[in-house]
Amino acid sequence: MAENEAHTTSMMLESLSRIIKEQELARQSLNARIESLAIGPLRLYGPICNKINTYAKMQRAALDNERKKRELLDNAILKDGGDQETRVRINQSQMDLAGASRAAMNSTTTLHDSVLTFEQRRRNDLKNVLSEIVWSEMQFHAKSLELLTEAHQVIHATSFDKDIQVGDIIFALLN
């Protein structure tokens, strides 16, 4: 379109086109930055969540084992015949239950700590991502304001008087 216009108008349109293209490149850069900031932490969450899921399964298994050991101890106590073999079985069941209880407590603590660490990381990531998004938007809008100010100055600095005079001369020559 600019090539069909008079020189001054053509120069103004080319300058505005360059400014608009620069603003569009700034927008694309902003979008790419925001996308990389948001997707980066999310890619790391998959393996972390899988690990936490494994800890949850281990905790359920440890709790089930503890429950079974408690049932065995309860059955041994109910069948207490007072003989040596029964007392040995009760003592062994008590030791097995204590070990299972420790394993259940350890797995619960591990699961709790993992979830707590993940939540802290997730919230810090969220805070950092949102902060970067806001900062990036501020930078983009500052650049946009700079470019739009330049566009405004180009428009208002353009004088069409020479184009009109050239147009009058061409019109006069054609007649």
Q: How far apart are CA 126 and CA 37, in angstroms?
A: 10
Q: How confident is the model at residue 169 (pLDDT cuts 50, 70, 90)?
A: low
Taken in order of first residue, the domains within the chain and their CATH numbers are 8-158 (1.10.287)
Per-residue pLDDT at 172 exceeds 80: no
Range in 70-84, 100-114, 124-138 the model is least confident about: 70-84
Q: How many Cα atoms are found within 13 Å in the side-chain-facing hemisphere of 3?
A: 0
